[in-house]
């Protein structure tokens, strides 16, 4: 298993299992949610949001699991298959060569790394063989341009390849030192995180490099822990990006999942100031109450008891989302949300996976970020693990759980497709402005057709997410082979 981004247990996947107190890595979550360092990805500089969907399990030139990414460019009518670029390691200009098991697209992060006005993309191949190291991992930066991402890029060398595996399994971009340049944080199987300072040259040389080491477990043979996710955003409103590290704590024999807040500062991130947060694997940072501080929203999609009856800390039946409100001094008070909270659609049922994925974006333009949460293991109308996503709206009082909520499944009128077993609708979710109207639209990934994957686009009508103008995008529409399990849409760039 490469890491939590790569959900390789497909049709039989249930919510993240807890085994012996440790989160089982055989059914863990997809890519991290959006952060607030940039409003949206814009690789071609046209002012409309673009999105990258990974197909890290895709066959390339007959090679199983070599992996691809699909760049969908925003247009006045949203994203679709017509305006897109499909890239693998066999694409001209991309560092490396497609090989079986590379998982190109295992994680991605965007920012304008070379400060030329176009967003660039950091993309990892955590299964890349490096010398004799089977899962050494690799990271490349692909440069944006007027034509978008064309494949032109550079390799970001691993500074300590013998110290870890799965290089690049977690990525996050932000201005951690406040110098106006985008930095890149890179994780691996080790607890040490490498931060590449902004000011990248077109040859890939950064403005500097340093390391931070939060109090999380490092990996061992067969257990690629390290940081499970890295999420960037300004929590304390000081103009410097902070980092939330999702990992396993080191204080108990169980090693329960624990998240840590690392504040940014003049010298960059400071692990010595790390503050423990509520558990969860998927995190987003955004201002849900409009007070100018980034709020930390984290999903813990597991149940509150293990199969042997062990009580799981800070968990809930069917999954839970925690909202920790930002303040001038960093993380403040926390509120928990489940499907039994207020009028949240659905009900908390064992194994639903509520909080498996989530993202933030302003759907109605009121200045408060709204929240989408997925429960891909939701059973509907007797259909097992078909999946559902829930939209909750931000307000001056935070996330509103009393009114205005929306729920979408493939059985919702106007949503393309049908409820089918193990579709896992909500494998990943994304809220961004894909049609240039200043409102966030919704993109939902699923494991349609036994792991082929699919994207479902649902636009904002200015006040709410609507099915009018909705569409789906299948692997064949964007040049991704359906051999094996490509998992298109299981990871979106953040």
**Residues 64-118: pLDDT tens digits?**
999 999 999 999 999 999 999 999 999 999 999 999 999 999 999 999 999 999 9
How sure is the predictor about 131, in pLDDT bands with cuts at 50, 70 and 90? confident
How sure is the predictor about 308, in pLDDT bands with cuts at 50, 70 and 90? confident
Q: Which residues are paired to 69 by β-bridges?
A: 54, 87
| C-alpha torsion sign, points 84, 202, 65, 217 | negative
d(CA 86, CA 372): 27
Q: How confident is the model at residue 18, as a pLDDT? A: 25
> Which comes out higher in pLDDT, residue 130 or 390?
390
Given a cut of 70, whether residue 480 has pLDDT beyond it is: yes
Report yes or no: 208 and 179 within 8 Å, Cβ to Cβ: no
What is the average per-residue pLDDT within 124-144?
Answer: 93
Given a cut of 90, whether residue 485 has pLDDT beyond it is: yes
Report yes or no: 449 and 48 within 8 Å, Cβ to Cβ: no
d(CA 80, CA 473): 7
Q: How confident is the model at residue 223, as a pLDDT? A: 61
What is the average per-residue pLDDT within 269-275?
Answer: 94
pLDDT in tens, 139-182: 999 999 999 999 999 999 999 998 999 999 999 999 999 999 99
How sure is the predictor about 254, in pLDDT bands with cuts at 50, 70 and 90? low
Residues in the chain: 494
d(CA 319, CA 311): 14
Given a cut of 70, whether residue 22 has pLDDT beyond it is: no
Mean pLDDT of the chain: 90
Residue 53 CA, distance from chain mean position: 10
Q: How confident is the model at residue 143, as a pLDDT? A: 98
Percentage of residues in the chain having pLDDT higher than 70:
90
How sure is the predictor about 222, in pLDDT bands with cuts at 50, 70 and 90? low
Q: How confident is the model at residue 28, as a pLDDT? A: 33
**Is the pTM value of this prediction over 0.75?**
yes
Given a cut of 90, whether residue 256 has pLDDT beyond it is: no
Q: How confident is the model at residue 306, as a pLDDT? A: 87
| 3-class SS letters over the chain | CCCCCCCCCCCCCCCCCEECCEECHHHCCCCCCCCCCCCCECCCCCCCCEEEEEECCCCECCECCCCEEEEECCCCCCCCCCCEEEECCCCCCCCCCCCCCCCCCCCEEEECCCCCCCCEEEEEECCCCECCECCCEEEEEECCCCCCCCCCEEECCCCCCCCCCCECCEEEEECCCCCCCCEEEEECCCCCEEEECCCCCCCCCCCCEEEECCCECCCECCECCCCCEEEEECCCCCCCCEEEEEEEECCCCCCCEEEEEECCCCCCCCHHHCEEECCCCEEEEECCCCCCCCEEEEEECCCCECCCCCECCCCCCCCEEEEEEEECCEEEEEEEECCCCCCCCCCCCCCCCCCCCEEEECCCCCCCCEEEEEECCCCECCECCCCEEEEECCCCCCCCCCCCCEEECCCCCCCCCCCCCCCCCCCEEEEECCCCCCCCEEEEEECHHHHCEEEEEECECCCCECCCCCEEECHHHHCCCCCCCCCECCEECC
């Amino acid at each position: 298993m490469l890491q939590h981004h790569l959900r390789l247990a497909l049709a039989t996947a249930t919510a993240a299992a807890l085994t012996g107190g440790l989160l089982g890595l055989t059914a863990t979550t997809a890519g991290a949610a959006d952060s607030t360092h940039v409003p949206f990805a814009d690789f071609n500089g046209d002012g409309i949001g673009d999105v990258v969907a990974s197909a890290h399990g895709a066959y390339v030139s007959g090679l199983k699991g070599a992996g691809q990414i699909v760049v969908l460019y925003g247009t006045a009518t949203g994203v679709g298959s017509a305006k897109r670029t499909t890239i693998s390691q066999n694409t001209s200009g991309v560092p490396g060569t497609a090989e079986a098991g590379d998982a190109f697209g295992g994680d991605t992060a965007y920012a304008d790394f070379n400060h030329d006005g176009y967003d660039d993309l950091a993309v990892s191949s955590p299964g890349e063989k490096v010398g004799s190291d089977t899962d050494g991992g690799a990271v490349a930066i692909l440069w944006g341009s007027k034509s978008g991402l064309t494949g032109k890029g550079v390799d970001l060398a691993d500074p300590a390849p013998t110290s870890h595996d799965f290089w690049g399994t977690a990525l996050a971009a932000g201005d951690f030192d406040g110098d106006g340049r985008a930095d890149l944080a890179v994780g691996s199987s080790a607890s040490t995180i490498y931060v590449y300072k902004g000011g990248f040259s077109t040859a890939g040389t950064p403005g500097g490099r340093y390391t931070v080491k939060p109090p999380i477990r490092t990996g061992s043979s067969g257990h690629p822990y390290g940081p499970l996710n890295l999420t960037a955003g300004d929590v304390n409103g000081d103009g410097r990006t902070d980092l939330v590290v999702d990992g396993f704590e080191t204080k108990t024999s169980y090693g329960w999942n624990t998240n840590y807040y690392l504040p940014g500062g003049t010298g960059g991130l400071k692990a010595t100031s790390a503050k423990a947060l509520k558990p969860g694997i998927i995190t987003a940072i955004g201002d849900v109450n409009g007070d100018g501080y980034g709020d930390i929203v984290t999903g813990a999609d597991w149940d509150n008891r293990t199969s042997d009856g062990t009580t799981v800390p800070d968990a809930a039946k069917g999954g839970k989302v925690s909202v920790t409100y930002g303040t001038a001094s960093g993380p403040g008070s926390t509120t928990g949300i489940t499907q039994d909270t207020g009028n949240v659609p659905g009900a908390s049922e064992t194994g639903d996976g509520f909080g498996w994925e989530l993202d933030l974006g302003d759907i109605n333009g009121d200045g408060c970020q709204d929240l989408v949460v997925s429960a891909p293991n939701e059973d509907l109308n007797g259909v097992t693990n078909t999946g559902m996503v829930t939209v909750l709206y931000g307000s001056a009082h935070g996330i509103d759980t009393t009114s205005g909520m929306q729920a979408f499944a493939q059985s919702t009128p106007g949503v393309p497709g049908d409820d089918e077993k193990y579709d896992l609708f909500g494998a990943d979710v994304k809220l961004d402005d894909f049609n240039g109207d200043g409102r966030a639209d919704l993109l939902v990934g699923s494991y349609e057709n036994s792991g082929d994957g699919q994207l479902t686009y649902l636009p904002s009508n200015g006040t709410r997410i609507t099915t009018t103008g909705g569409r789906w995008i299948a692997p064949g529409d964007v040049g991704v082979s359906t051999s094996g399990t490509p998992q298109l849409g299981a990871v979106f760039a953040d």
